[in-house]
Structure 1
Amino acid sequence: MLEDLLARWITHQRWFAGKGRPLDDLRIDSRTSLGALQEAELWHLVLSVRQADALDRYQLLLGLRAELPDRLKHVLIGITHDGVHVYDAAHDSSLTCLLLEGMAQGQDHGPVRFRHVRGVEIDTTQRSLVLGAEQSNTSLVYGDAYICKLFRRLIPGINPELEVVTALAERGAPHIARPYGWIETDLDGNPTTLAFTQEYLSTSNDGWDLALASVRDFYGQLDDICAADAGGDFAAESFRLGAATAEIHRQLAAAFPTDVVEPHDVKRMVEGFRRRLAWAIAEVPELAEHAEIVERAFHEVEELTAEVRVQRVHGDYHLGQVMRTPAGWFILDFEGEPGQPLDERRALASPLRDVAGMLRSFDYAAGHLLADHPDAAALRAKAGEWAARNRSAFLEGYADVDDGDAALLRALEYDKAVYEVVYEARNRPSWLPIPLAAFR
């Protein structure tokens, strides 16, 4: 039975959110044919997976073949009782061309709808390759032209990335990858994004990798060389990234509604910060020695008398979400934190939330190479120097933080670092010194 094959297979996938918990039930909610090519069929499945009280839905591109070629044996799901090989067809480039064709032509296949952005042309001759680095989604790169992100775990509603990027593109916003098309269906009566296709930045470099290269260069140079004189100095790029971030925030404020938060609501926000701090101290007791300095920062925000402007923001902003191209910095992945409800990901927030996320990312880049490093103690001063220089350059480029904002930014940074302490204690104990350093 197909459900039995899928139940045994799905718990081993990188994008499956329920690892480590028993799977109580799996059922196929919908099964839609997307076409057939070269003795292979392509089906779209929506699966419901129950684990205790949790019910999650996932999508799968299912391939069916009488014989499975060697290049696809690593994605075999199983063989049915009548000898049909079923497999994860996201890895089958001879079938995934049907996705491009569907978007280019605006096809409907039963409940699965393919759409393209008005005025674009899609080259359907490009062949796909699966990127291997992702955890929660699966991205297909078509030649050097497109990247199509399949949202494996489905949440009813329009994905914020589709919503934001198409709105920004309509305004001609810079610093985003051009959108081309998407795939959708209905879940619980809501149009729900299944996949989103954008321009593939084939000549780009990942911001995290560039920052680490700069840190590595600085650590390898003589002790009397300052960060400004090091060969791999990153500060100019940090400045440009700050300016690009400010421009994106301006474009988001123009494309979506904005609002202001009254001082009494700011106090309510700070109470949320305090609850997270108490939760984190209960889990990581060594954080308690830093509680006073954090409380002082939270109190400064409570003393603010001005309104706080809020708008749509990126929501999960760090060096891994930006790419440097010959044309400048591009910002990716506007879907927010994937594990959060859509309403929370769409919620208006201070743009300083994104600024705080990027500042924390500079600290992580500086501290990352010190984890398990034999000369970590000797290099700690250099780590602080590199982080301070690039944080300052980013803020200078952003150029939209006044004295009142500084207090809120400090509190947002501490709130982010509090979360990081718990995350690292649970998942990467050797990295725990990185967020703890934020409180010193």
Structure 2
Amino acid sequence: MNSDSIWERLLSLREKPLTERDRGLTAALLGMWEDEVPAPFEVRRFLPLPSLSYEPADCHIGGPGERDFAPHVDQTNYSVVVAEQIVVKWLTPPVPLPHPALDVLAHLARTGFPHTAPPYAALLAGSRVLALVTGYLPDATDGWTWCVDAAESADTAFAPALGTLAADLHLTLATLPGEPTGRSGDARVQDQARRAEDALDEALALTDGPDGAWLRTVAGRLRAELTPPPTAAPMIRIHGDLHVGQILRWRDGYAVIDFDGNPTVAEADPYQPAARDVAQLTTSIEHVAQVAVRRRGTAPERAASWAAEAKAGMLGAYEARLAENGRPDLLDKSLIRPFEVEQECRELIYAARHLPRWRYAPMGVLRTWMEKA
């Protein structure tokens, strides 16, 4: 595969995404990045690429080997591992600029944030992002596996590490320049509250059958919890889609990945209270409990108790880390509950539109909340 054919193939990505039939293209492309790339392509470099080593079995192809992720890995895009050192995530389809990951990955690289896959580069074509290039983390397992294992065994030892990681991420992102000026953060939060009510209305309209009938009986209580109190919390750059599936447990600990933003929320403000990420992380722990009940046969009461303990451990470590660094102001805890309720509404919308079998998880969380109340 020569360079001309590679660039020609990449120009066709909008109509014809990469698949396993393009084996070898990704590794060959990385080898060409030392040279200037032809128009309309652009490489934005964050960190130097590692030197790619060859295994003996790769000698016949004249370059480092590449492989897809295992078939069981649930992902929207198409990722390729090169030489067991680099992951190239091909966006399917390519995403128009501005893309939230570019500024965040550049900032994490500049600050030396250690709890993520090393951010190396992004490949653009004109005004679209084709691919994001990061380091490969050996022996990595995503949270929908390792955290469900923890729920099944009633193990909450991971929770403090999770809270510390999230706090370190927010402490780093809080130093990213570009916080919006003009309207106050509280005014923006109140605007978001109106969008949250719209999300509840949409969830009610899309959830049918017995689940929908039950949801309508508690709609008033949910609506009352959606309204956030006035807040002085600073608006910082947030992850935007921080759930346990974005937390890898790998050979050297835990790492947060995927800074592409929330694919289910159109035009989300990248600058929000840190409580937005915290709420999504806490609700995802409760979703894990529902998965353990559904798929592992864990008793509902035991799963709910595990989730409550894990959330408390995570939040305690998160707050302690902020306090250690003199930034307890980053978290307004009174915002967590409204954001949690909104997140469950959005989970129901996502299930109705894209993944009907997922509805059991947000419905299980909502029923647990209402029974507690």
Partner Cα distance (1:214, 1:403) in 2:
29
Q: CA RMSD in A?
A: 3.0
Structure 2 counterpart of 1:257, which letter?
G
Partner Cα distance (1:117, 1:263) in 2:
34
Name the residue aligned to 1:270: 193
Name the residue aligned to 1:144: 84
1:109 is paired with a residue whose SS is coil
Q: Which structure shows the higher helix fraction?
A: 2
Name the residue aligned to 2:169: 248
Q: Which structure shows the higher strand fraction?
A: 1
User: Displacement of 1:352 after TM fit?
Assistant: 1.0
Structure-to-structure mapping, 1:6-405, within 5 angstroms = 34-35=3-4, 43-47=8-12, 57-58=14-15, 60-61=17-18, 88-89=21-22, 92-93=23-24, 95-103=25-33, 105-114=34-43, 116-117=45-46, 119-123=48-52, 125=54, 126-131=64-69, 132=71, 133-186=73-126, 190=127, 192-218=128-154, 233=155, 235-258=156-179, 261-284=184-207, 285=212, 286-299=214-227, 301-302=228-229, 304=230, 306-338=231-263, 344=267, 347-371=270-294, 379-399=299-319, 400=322, 405=332
User: Displacement of 1:162 after TM fit?
Assistant: 3.1
Structure-to-structure mapping, 1:397-416, within 5 angstroms = 397-399=317-319, 400=322, 405-416=332-343
Structure 2 counterpart of 1:129, which letter?
R
Structure 2 counterpart of 1:290, which letter?
V
Partner Cα distance (2:75, 2:184) in 1:
35
1:267 is paired with a residue whose SS is helix
May I ask how many residue pairs the two structures share in their alignment? Answer: 342
Q: Is the 8 A contact 2:185 2:235 kept in 1?
A: no
**Quick one: structure 1 residues 58 and 322, their matched pair in 2 at CA, closer, same or farther if it must change by over 3 Å?**
farther
Partner Cα distance (2:68, 2:295) in 1:
32
Residue by residue over 1:330-382, the C-alpha shift from the partner in whole angstroms, topping out at 9 and shown as x without a partner, is 110001123655xx356211111111111111111111132277x67xx1110
Partner Cα distance (1:97, 1:403) in 2:
42
**Quick one: structure 1 residues 268 and 193, their matched pair in 2 at CA, closer, same or farther if it must change by over 3 Å?**
closer
Aligned-residue identity in percent: 25
**Quick one: structure 1 residues 129 and 267, their matched pair in 2 at CA, closer, same or farther if it must change by over 3 Å?**
same
Gaps of 5+ in 2: 55-63, 323-327
Q: Is the 8 A contact 2:41 2:124 kept in 1?
A: yes
Gaps of 5+ in 1: 1-31, 49-56, 63-74, 76-87, 219-232
2:248 is paired with a residue whose SS is strand
2:125 is paired with a residue whose SS is strand
**Quick one: structure 1 residues 295 and 158, their matched pair in 2 at CA, closer, same or farther if it must change by over 3 Å?**
closer
Pick the structure with greater CA Rg: 1
Partner Cα distance (2:142, 2:187) in 1:
40
TM-score, normalized by length of structure 2? Answer: 0.81
Residue by residue over 1:4-48, the C-alpha shift from the partner in whole angstroms, topping out at 9 and shown as x without a partner, is xxxxxxxxxxxxxxxxxxxxxxxxxxxx97346xxxx77324459
Residue by residue over 1:230-265, the C-alpha shift from the partner in whole angstroms, topping out at 9 and shown as x without a partner, is xxx1x2311111111111111011123335835444
2:109 is paired with a residue whose SS is helix
Structure 1 counterpart of 2:278, which letter?
V
Name the residue aligned to 2:325: none
**Quick one: structure 1 residues 366 and 331, their matched pair in 2 at CA, closer, same or farther if it must change by over 3 Å?**
same
Q: Is the 8 A contact 2:160 2:313 kept in 1?
A: yes
Partner Cα distance (2:184, 2:247) in 1:
29
User: Displacement of 1:121 after TM fit?
Assistant: 4.0
- Which structure has more relative contact order (CA 8 Å, sep 6+)? It is 2
Name the residue aligned to 1:51: none
Partner Cα distance (2:121, 2:191) in 1:
40
